[in-house]
Chains A and B, each alone.
Chain A
């Protein structure tokens, strides 16, 4: 006999399937983005939320007490399902607690959604955990946000609790005051100077999770409102560089598997839940959003989905705080050092080419530039291209981490096992400078003698097809709906993306799991010239009658390269724009220097925000949605057509 719950779940699955089939935003039959009603959007979104929760519950085996995270327990409590299992699993999986803020936030979720289901013994067990387990607050932005939001929300549940109730010896009142101050300060800094851990397809959920907690369960109206606004802000940050669930552009942090297959990243799971793009995948962040009751404003859907026209979108971010070696470009925010990150993305209906200026902008996992292109089915697709100088150094380590010069590299590589490898696929370099104008990207490298890994590497994934090494010096290829032209300034050699010799036995298991499937058939062009660089020129297949036509057009472009004393290139791109870049100097477009001093926090057709404004305007057609963090307000308006 089918249980009522499973029947309900089955019915919901059918509903979601019908909605997904009937209103695919990218399908030929779908209505224009602007014409889908808000009511329909909300209805479809709510169905997907139910589906996310139901899937989690459906995948719970109530006879298996060895599996099930606090997220899973929370989903079951939320639905009132498998309660005996949930109660028992709660005790088994939290004895003892581990993971610091990664334990705190799903526990806070569990406590809130389980209010009605947890009994006195359950609460006694949970309260004892908070009294005795002293979680580390962590060493990076996402850690701190998760830590303080979780702490706030559990203290708010017991507002009269004294210092004896909590691991840190503070009362609930003290905890809430401290945590709230942090949360609001983080929002102020982010909306004034940009996020430090910016635009990560991985770590986006480490921000959406705590914001979902605030939206769903904060009793403090100010924090709930600010949490909702900040969620909108983070999702807008993604939406403007989204292509059917792919998070394009330059990223602060990315793990290798998501570098190679962008469609696997957590951001893709968010795009499915929020905007109905791509395929469903199980994800803690989306589960938390689904249970929180958060509803994204419809303008986010429209911005994330409308790719009728190509556009340039620029953003100003900042580096993670620099403890040491802050450098001449550093500025301070409340006594903490950072430097600006200038992001530039060209978002085309078929692809996104995006970049930052290069340099050490983020420890370990930076992606300075990337290309992603649209694919109908993302499964198994390595629809990306990027380049790097694989740099590792105690300078970088001690810049961002509280660790010693002689141990920092080793300790980083204990968890990020590829950090100290010449074969790695991510990371910033102080010897890399990148400049982009629309679909053209120029990267220059000036690598000193003695650098640990004196090479540069560019990924040509297995899904870059029809590769041609032309006599002209250009390398051509096709990735899905885009043609790629790559002009190296120095010779290189092809090397397979192969970590077989890199991964230590057992170490970095998560890194290496499935790596053969992820990387097989992909190659890197590796060049050992210390003075180096390349041009990347992208064009949609639809712009040329044949592949040959594209190649001929590129061959005809004027390119003037000089590598000594510092790399320099003068180049006219397919649109006839004259670009000039020299290592160590400001690049120019048609003879005019790029003005980094005027870079805004958000600057594109869909979003505008000035530096230090603490506000953001989202734009779609005549609709305006303004987040004003100074006044804690969010307002939608319609402007008269011009």
Chain B
């Protein structure tokens, strides 16, 4: 891991504040805790959020060092505004990472994922172990909004970019939908009944969604999340921590789970093949297709490193971070350098 100044990433992230005026670029981030060397202690030896530089193919820390950092989000309409989902709460930078401020109070903590309204950066949504939280003022103040939820444990969320009032939430007992910007929730009937660990939506075909669950494997929706069906029978009882849809080819998708390694489908989820023979561990905690290199697929294994393949899993290249327990591996969009 190389250490460079945050200013480098400030440059990357801040160049051109309006996505309408500047060409967009996606940046891979990773949120993790170094747990492998954690012995006789409840504290990981390191933790943080890092960005992957295309220039030197290495990871660079962004933001403060805090134990329990789970995810990152960048305001698409103001790329210098960055949010971190942390155990302490939500930490925000409005200057591309130069300064940071905890924008939540003691009532809001243990955040797992943040989503931002792509049209209105005042609407920020956060999932946490305590429930769903929303802000209508760009993160300055927060409110719990759990009306309709059976379980408050909320793991992941996606804002529908075609209808920003529509939010899709992965909770402790399945997928919920809000049509009013998170004010209330309705459970999606065909959703898995167990915890939703990860969701993704196709960039190419917005009607296509995928979800990984705790104990019920992989679910797919081809009608914009209205109904879901189980796929990947081999993984039907697995805890699936990573799912991803190919950014250009809607027939291509990947899923990874505990003890299950990585599985890929190239026919829209009808058939799945194990692509993990070259990985050092079958315990997969994160999976994502590379938005900048669509044939590239990233996989994080539990404490055995993060890897990527450019040849559909025939060979795997070391993406570093040996010893890490990766909580999130995903892309944030910023203006291009």
Interface residues of A (CB under 8 A from B): 98, 100, 134, 136-139, 144, 148, 163, 167-170, 178-179, 181-182, 185, 323-324, 335-337, 402, 404-407, 411, 414-417, 504, 506-511
Shortest beta-carbon distance, B92 to chain A, in Å?
A: 8
- The reply on B97 being an interface residue by CB < 8 A is no
Would you call A406 and B152 a contact (CB within 8 A)? no
Inter-chain contact count A-B, CB under 8 Å? 100
Q: Who on chain B is nearest to A510 by CB? A: B40
Chain A, Cβ-Cβ closest to B106: A182
Segment from B18-26, B65-73, B270-278, B292-300 that makes contact with A: B65-73
Q: B130 in the interface, Cβ–Cβ < 8 Å?
A: yes
Verify A406–B258 contact, CB threshold 8 A. Answer: yes
Cα–Cα distance between A179 and B88 once the two chains are bound (Å): 13
Q: Contact check: which of B88, B100, B146, B153 meets A323 at CB < 8 Å?
A: B153
Cross-chain contact of B106 among A181, A405, A510 (Cβ < 8 A): A181
B50 at the interface (CB under 8 A from A): no
- With both beta carbons as reference points, the residue of chain B lying nearest to A99 in the complex is identified as B43
With A506-B39, A507-B40: A134-B68 Cβ-Cβ less than 8 Å? no
B87, A136: Cβ atoms under 8 Å? yes
Cβ contacts under 8 Å, B146 to chain A: 335
Selected A-B contacts with CB under 8 Å, 22 pairs: A136-B68, A163-B101, A170-B102, A323-B172, A335-B131, A336-B130, A402-B87, A402-B110, A404-B285, A405-B258, A406-B239, A406-B302, A407-B302, A414-B40, A414-B42, A415-B40, A415-B41, A416-B42, A504-B39, A506-B39, A507-B39, A509-B40
> Which residues in window 137-155 of B have CB below 8 A to A?
144, 146, 151-153
In the complex formed, the residue of A with least CB distance to B302 is: A407
B129, B146, B195, B197: most-surrounded residue (chain A CB, <10 A): B129
User: Considering residues A182, A406, A504, which has the most beta carbons from chain B within 10 angstroms of its beta carbon?
Assistant: A406
Tell me if B106 and A148 are in contact (CB < 8 A): yes
By CB atoms of chain B within 10 A, which of A182, A185, A414 has the most? A414
Given known A139-B87, A335-B146, contact A324–B195 (CB-CB < 8 A): yes
| Contact code string B66-106 (vs A, CB < 8 Å = 1, else 0) | 11100000000000000000011101000000011110011
A34 to chain B, nearest CB (A): 43
A506 — which chain B residues lie within 8 A by C-beta? Answer: 39-40
Tell me if B289 counts as interface (CB < 8 A to partner A).
no
Across-interface contacts of A324 in B (CB, < 8 A):
151, 153, 172, 195
Report the bound CA distance from A406 to B43 in whole Å: 18
- Excluding A136-B68, A137-B89, A407-B302, 5 further A-B contacts by CB distance (< 8 Å) are A134-B88, A137-B109, A168-B101, A170-B101, A323-B130
Summarize A's interface: helix, strand, loop or mixed: loop
User: What residues on B are CB-neighbors of A406 within 8 Å?
Assistant: 239, 258-259, 283, 302
Q: Which residues of B contact A169 (CB under 8 A)?
A: 91, 99-102
Write out the residue numbers on chain A whose beta carbons fall within 8 Å of the beta carbon of B215: 405
Question: 0/1 per residue, B101-138, Cβ < 8 Å to A?
Answer: 11001100110100000000000000001110000000
Smallest CB gap from A98: residue in B: B43
Check A405 against B131 for contact (C-beta < 8 Å): no
The 8 closest A-B pairs by CB, nearest first: A169-B101, A136-B67, A415-B42, A406-B258, A182-B106, A168-B102, A323-B129, A134-B64
Please report the C-alpha to C-alpha distance between residue A264 and residue B89 in the assembled complex, in whole angstroms: 37
Instruction: Report chain A residues within 8 Å CB of B151.
Output: 324
Task: Sort chain B's interface into a size bin.
Answer: 35 or more
B195 contact set on A, CB distance < 8 A = 324
Query: Contact: A402 with B129, CB < 8 Å?
Result: yes
Give complex CA distance A286, B41 in Å: 25
Contacts of B131 in A (CB 8 A): 335
Whether B214 sits at the interface, judged by CB under 8 Å, is yes
Answer whether residue B156 sits at the interface, using C-beta atoms and an 8 A cutoff.
no
**CA–CA, A181 and B74, complex, Å:** 30
Given A136-B87, A324-B153, A509-B40, the answer on whether A407 and B325 have CB atoms closer than 8 Å is: yes
Scoring B67, B89, B91, B146 by chain A CB atoms within 10 A of each residue's CB, the highest score goes to B67
Please tell me which one of the listed residues A144, A170, A414 contacts residue B38 in the complex, with CB atoms under 8 A apart. Answer: A414
B263 within 8 A of A: no
CA distance A414 to B91 in the complex (A): 28
- The answer to whether B307 has its CB under 8 Å from any CB of chain A is no
Does B221 belong to the interface (CB within 8 Å)? no
Q: Mark B167-186, 1 if CB is under 8 A from A, else 0.
A: 00000100000000000000
B103 to chain A, nearest CB (A): 8
- In whole angstroms, how far apart are the Cα atoms of A417 and B41 in the complex? 9
User: For chain B, what secondary structure do more than half of its interface residues adopt (helix, strand, loop), or is it mixed?
Assistant: loop
Hey, which chain B residues are within 8 Å of A144, CB to CB?
106
Taking Cβ atoms with an 8 Å cutoff, the residues of B that contact A are 35, 38-43, 64-68, 87-89, 91, 99-102, 105-106, 109-110, 112, 129-131, 144, 146, 151-153, 172, 195, 197, 214-215, 239, 241, 258-259, 283, 285, 302, 325
**A405 and B214 within 8 A (CB):** yes
Q: Nearest CB to that of A321 among chain B residues?
A: B130
Q: Which chain A residue shows the least CB distance to B258? A: A406
What A residues does B239 contact at CB under 8 A?
Answer: 404-406
Report the bound CA distance from A136 to B258 in whole Å. 28
Give the most central of B41, B102, B215: most A CB within 10 Å.
B102
Contact of B144 among A335, A402, A411 (CB under 8 A): A335
Q: Which residues of A contact B241 (CB under 8 A)?
A: 404
| Complex Cα gap A504–B89 (Å) | 35
- Chain A residue numbers with a CB within 8 Å of B35 are 411, 414
Residues in A neighbouring B99, C-beta threshold 8 A: 169
Query: A90 to B105, alpha carbons, bound, how many Å?
Result: 31
Partner of A137, one of B39, B87, B112, B130: B87
Residues on B with C-beta less than 8 A from A504 are 39
Asked whether, in the complex, the Cβ of A167 is within 8 Å of the Cβ of B64, the reply is yes
In angstroms, Cα B151 to Cα A163, docked, is 36
**What are the residues of chain B within 8 A of A510 when measuring CB–CB?**
40
- Are B152 and A335 in touch, CB under 8 angstroms? yes
Q: How far does the Cβ of A402 sit from chain B's closest Cβ, in whole Å?
A: 5
In the assembled complex, the Cα of A136 lies from the Cα of B70 at a distance in Å of 13
A501 to chain B, nearest CB (A): 18
Complex contacts, A415 vs chain B, CB 8 Å: 40-42
Return B298 CB to nearest CB of chain A, in Å: 19
Q: Does the CB pair B129–A137 fall under 8 Å?
A: no
A506 to B109, CA, bound (A): 33
Please, which residues of chain A bring their CB within 8 A of the CB of B106?
Answer: 137, 144, 148, 178-179, 181-182, 185
Most buried by A among B38, B152, B195, B197: B152
Residue of A nearest to B146 (CB): A335
Give the chain A neighbours of B325 by CB distance below 8 A. Answer: 407
Q: Distance (Å) between the CB of A306 and the closest chain B CB?
A: 40
Chain B min CB distance to A193 (Å): 17
**Residue numbers in A under 8 Å from B302 (CB-CB):** 406-407
| B-chain residues with CB within 8 Å of residue A139 when the two chains form the complex | 87, 110
Residues of the A chain whose Cβ atoms lie less than 8 Å from the Cβ of B109: 137
Chain A residue nearest in CB terms to B100: A169
How distant is the Cα of A138 from the Cα of B197 in the complex, in angstroms?
Answer: 23
Contact partner, A134, options B66, B129, B258, Cβ 8 Å: B66
Give CA–CA (A481, B154) in the complex, Å: 53
Complex Cα spacing A57 to B133, Å: 49
A138 to B131, CA, bound (A): 18
> If the complex has contacts A414-B38, A414-B39, A414-B41, are A137 and B152 also in contact, measured as CB distance less than 8 A?
no
Contacts of A181 in B (CB 8 A): 105-106
- Distance (whole angstroms) from the CB of B312 to the closest CB of chain A: 26
Residues in A whose Cβ lies below 8 Å from that of B110: 139, 402
Chain A residues, CB < 8 A from B105: 178, 181
Q: Are B214 and A508 interface neighbours, CB within 8 A?
A: no
Min distance, Cβ A51 to any Cβ of chain B, angstroms: 33
